[in-house]
Amino acid sequence: MRSDDKTALADLPPGADNPLNFAVSRRDRHALDMVAQAIRHKQVLLAYQPIMQSRDQSKVALYEGLIRVLDETGRVIPASEFMGAIENTELGRQLDTLALGLGLRALNDNPALRLSINMSAKSIGYRAWNRTLDRWLSRNELIAERLVLEITESSTIMVPELVVDFMDRLQLRGISFAMDDFGAGYTALRYFKDFCFDIVKIDGQFVQGIAQDPDNQVMTAALVSIAHHFDMLTVAEFVENQEDADTLVSLGVDCLQGYHFGAATTRPHWLADRGMKKAV
C-alpha cells in the first residue's frame, strides 16, 4: 500500500478500511440517531399481534406488544431495524421503559386485554423501568395478572441468577414471564429448571415450514415436551400457513402466533372501537 493511501485510510472512521464494517457502523449510527430522536420527541408506539389458542384458533389467548418508532418522515420502523444497535445502550433501557409504560397504559384502559411486553435482562435494575412498573401497579394492581414480561433466551442466560431473583419477586405480584426464542441455542439446560417461566415461545427457525420438515417436527416435539414437563405454556412463533398450524397442534403446542393469524398493528380493534364511539 502506498504511503498516501495509508494516510487517507487513517482519516476514515474506525472500521472504514473494511467496507462491510464501515457499512454496518454507518447503519448502526443511523439507527442510534433515529431512536434517540424518536425518544426525544415521544414518537414511540406499540404494535399489537394476536397469539391464538391452538385448540380454537378463532380465540385470542393474549397479544404481544411490539415496540415501534417513527422516523423523521413519520414511517413506522419495526424493532428489527434498530434493536441490534441499541440493545446494549442507554437507549435500549429507555425504549424498554417506554414500551412498558405503553403496555401498562393499554392494560389499564382495557380490562379484557392480556398483553406481553418485551424487555432485556439488562433493564432489570434500571431505575426508570422499575418506577414505571411500580407507578402503574400502585394505580391498578389488577394489571399485574394480565401482564406477561417477555425476555429473550440469549438475554436470560447472560445473567441467570439476576433473572431468577427478578422473576421470583414479580411473580409474587401476579406477573407472568415468557422466554422468547426458546431453542435458539443459548440456554444451558442446567439453568432452565431454575427459571420457572410461565410461557416459552418456540423459535421461528423450528416453526416455519414445519409441516414439510420431519427434523423440525422432532425438535419442536422435544421442546414442547421439556416445556410441558415444567408446566410451561408453549407458543409457536412465525406460523405462516394452516398446514404448519395443524402440524403444531398435533405436536401439542398450546398457542400460535404469526402472519397466518394477523400481522402486528398499531391500530388494534379496541382503539378503533374507541374512535368509533367518540365519533358517534
pLDDT in tens, 73-97: 899 999 888 888 888 899 999 999 9
Work out the pLDDT band at 250, boundaries 50, 70, 90.
very high
pLDDT in tens, 180-205: 988 886 555 667 778 889 999 999 99
What number of other Cβ atoms are within 10 A of residue 42's Cβ? 9
CATH of the domain at 254: 3.20.20.450
**Position 45 pLDDT exceeds 70:** yes
CA distance 129 to 52: 29
Residue ranges making up the domain that contains 30: 3-279
| Candidate from 54-68, 93-107, 258-272 with smallest mean pLDDT | 258-272
In total, how many domains does the chain have?
Answer: 1
Cα 80–Cα 81–Cα 84 angle in degrees, nearest 5: 70
Tell me if 45 sits within 8 A of 99, measured CB to CB. no
The candidate with the shortest Cα–Cα distance to 29, out of 70, 74, 89, is 89
The candidate with the shortest Cα–Cα distance to 87, out of 74, 99, 105, is 99
| Candidate from 146-150, 162-166, 182-186 with smallest mean pLDDT | 182-186
Residue 265 DSSP one-character state: B
The candidate with the shortest Cα–Cα distance to 61, out of 219, 261, 228, 207, is 261
Question: What's the pLDDT score for residue 29?
Answer: 82
Prediction pTM value: 0.87
| Candidate from 8-12, 165-169, 245-249 with smallest mean pLDDT | 8-12
